[in-house]
Structure formats: structure tokens, C-alpha cells
Amino acid sequence: MTENQLDFRDRSVWLLVFGIVEILIGILCALFALLTTILTVMTILTPPAQNPQALSFGLSPRAAFPSLSLYALLGLVFIALGIGSIRARSWARKWSLSIAWIWLFTGLSSILLMAFVWPSLIDVTSSMSGLPMSWVTMILLIGFLLTAATQVVLPGFFILFYRSADVIATIKARNGDLSESDQPTHVLSLCLVYLLFAYSALLIPVYGIKVPFFGMALTSWPALLVITLSFGIYLWLAWACLKSPRFVFPLGMGTSIFAMIATTSTFYLRPIGEFFESMPLSEEEIVFLQSVTDFDRSYAVWISIATWLSLIAYQVFTRKLFEVPSE
């Protein structure tokens, strides 16, 4: 090694540690996928007379497929990233960092959402379960802290580690200089965000959710048309992030603003509980969701605004990364 290559703290051991952690996360996701499969098969094989709640949320094949596919995919991704980290590969560092940013963002969003609906969540849960409010508060607080630890603290550690100059230098020393053609981390993160939105569009017909569209709750062919267009646009945006960046910003911004107005106006004009009615939920679960979300209709409006404004802000933040230099 040259002196320049030795002018850093070798993080090979920590790359091994973080790689093992990612593999363990992947195995945990795979186990969740296996558990979901087992519960779904048991539901199918159990006669409805013996299991009146057999088609409740999370057990019916239609409801289980999205979580099953997502857990299986995350399992494969984290195991691959863990192996790449152990081998000190630059692609593993960049993709781990990209996923960690999205992981942190969704975790912070979950924390803010829980805090936003906290009073109504305690009231509704206590009244429906029959438990004292002090018990419900303690249970929800434990869930809140676990969410903060796994969805905020853990990805925060991944971000701090994989952004470290010593980690980058260690990877360079072990595998040569990083390719200049590698996409910036935030571009990869935005690509993953678009893929998640495309995946979410596919979940709408699977779960039977009505499509909010400028004050209307679309079903049947109009809903399918909007879903197909949304899926195609977000899938193309994900591809364009890596291959054809010229039109990513204008199309991404236009789509986000259009979707924000379409969804927010609908949640302002219609009760949010209407969108749960055709989902594969038990009657008790539908009542619970409607009780929480309809406690104050402004919840859904502000959540919609916050979601889309966050995406718009991130697209503005990454705009310069998509600028094509003039010749």
C-alpha cells in the first residue's frame, strides 16, 4: 500500500460487523415472509365456520401478498448488501446508504404520524379494547419507542457509518478507486423512492382501496386507468434516474404536484373511512380505522400534504444532480 492509502483508519472490521447486521436483518425479513406464508396457508385450510375471522387483514391471500412479497424482496436485498459490505464493495456502501436514508425518512414520518394521532389513538384503542387508558398509553409508548429505535436510530447508525471518509478510503484501498460513473447516493435514493411509489400503486387494487382523485373515490376502470398511469410514470422515473436524467425533475415535480392536489382535495371533501370499506378487513378493524382517521378529517389532509411536500422538497434538493451539462 502507498502512504495515501495508509492515511486513514482501516474500517474492515466494522464493514464486517455492519455486513453481518444487514444479513441478520435480511434473515429476519425472510422469516417474516415465511411466517406470513404459513399463516396464509393455515387460513386457507381452516374452514370459515371454525375461523370466522379467517379473512381478516394480514391473513387472506389478497391481503398477505403485498407484505409477503415486500419481506421476501427486503430479505434478498439486505442479505446481498451484507455480503457486499463484508467484501468491502463500493456498490454495497452506496446502496446501503441510499436505503438507510429512505429508512430514516419513513421512520421519522411514522414517528410524526403517531405523535399527530396520539390522543385519538389512545381514546379509540381504550374504548374498543376495554383496557384502562393508562395501560393503553404504556403499550403505545412501548411501540413508539421500538419504532424510534428500529426506524430512526438504527438507520441513523448506518448513515453515519457508510458516509464515513474512513469507510470510503478502506473500500478504495481494498478494491481500487471508486468508479467515477457511479450515481450519487441521493440519486439512488430518489430512484428507490420512485420504485416504492410504483409498488404502492400496485397495492391499491390488491387491497381494494378506492383511488382518491379530485374529490372522487374512483373504482373499476377509471381507478385502474389512474393506477396504470401512476405505475408507468413512477417506473419510468426510477429508470430515468439512472439512464436518462434530463426529464426526471420536470416530470417528477409535475406528477407530485398533480397527485398532491388530487389526493388532498379528495381527503378534504370525503371521509377517509370510505376508502377502507372495500379492503379485506374484519368489521372490527374497519370500525377501528374509521374511528381513528375520521376523528378529525384534517389528519388525512395534513398527512397527504406532508407526504407529497416531502417528496417535492427532496426532488428540489436533488435537482442539480440531474442537470445535463451544456456542450
How far is Cα 160 from Cα 145, in angstroms, rounded to an integer? 21
In percent, the amount of the chain with pLDDT more than 70 equals 79
Query: Which residues, other chains included, contact 310 with Cβ-Cβ below 8 Å and sequence gap of 6+?
Result: 105, 109
Residue 77 shares a structural domain with residue 188: no
The yes-or-no verdict on residue 58 having pLDDT over 60 is no
Q: Is residue 2 part of a domain?
A: no
Could you tell me the end-to-end alpha-carbon distance of the chain, in angstroms, rounded to an integer? 39
Residue 66 shares a structural domain with residue 141: no
Q: Is residue 289 part of a domain?
A: yes
The yes-or-no verdict on residue 289 having pLDDT over 70 is no
The pTM is what? Answer: 0.76
Residue 60 shares a structural domain with residue 106: no
Give the Å distances, CA to CA, from 187 to 78, 94, 225, 236: 19, 10, 29, 14
Cα–Cα nearest to 78, from 16, 162, 147, 20: 20
Which residue range forms the structural domain that includes residue 261?
A: 183-327
The yes-or-no verdict on residue 82 having pLDDT over 90 is yes
Q: Which range is least confidently modeled, 39-43, 149-153, 276-280?
A: 276-280
* Mean pLDDT value across residues 64-89: 89
Would you state the pLDDT for residue 100? Answer: 92
Residue 20 shares a structural domain with residue 65: yes
* Mean pLDDT value across residues 270-290: 66
Residue 57 shares a structural domain with residue 72: yes
Sequence-distant contacts of 123-128: CB under 8 A, at least 24 apart: 123/295, 124/288, 124/291, 124/292, 124/295, 125/288, 128/284, 128/287, 128/288, 128/291
- Residue showing cell 422515473: 237
Cα–Cα nearest to 317, from 95, 101, 152, 103: 101
The yes-or-no verdict on residue 143 having pLDDT over 80 is yes
* Mean pLDDT value across residues 20-27: 96
Please name the residue ranges forming H helices in 176-320: 185-207, 220-243, 248-269, 283-293, 298-317
Asked which of 159, 177, 195 is the last residue of a domain, the reply is 177
Residue 187 shares a structural domain with residue 327: yes
| Element housing 23 (H / E) | helix 12-45
Residue 195 shares a structural domain with residue 225: yes
Residue 197 shares a structural domain with residue 265: yes
Residue 173 shares a structural domain with residue 200: no
- Residue showing cell 502512504: 3
pLDDT tens digits, one per residue of 84-101: 999 999 889 989 998 998
Asked which of 64, 87, 110 is the last residue of a domain, the reply is 87
How far is Cα 53 from Cα 48, in angstroms, rounded to an integer? 8
The yes-or-no verdict on residue 1 having pLDDT over 50 is no
Q: Mean pLDDT for the chain? A: 81
How far is Cα 70 from Cα 106, in angstroms, rounded to an integer? 15
Asked which of 35, 66, 87 is the last residue of a domain, the reply is 87
Domains contained in the chain, number? 3
Residue 18 shares a structural domain with residue 34: yes
Residue 20 shares a structural domain with residue 72: yes
DSSP letter at 325 equals: P
Residue 239 shares a structural domain with residue 312: yes
Would you state the pLDDT for residue 136? Answer: 78
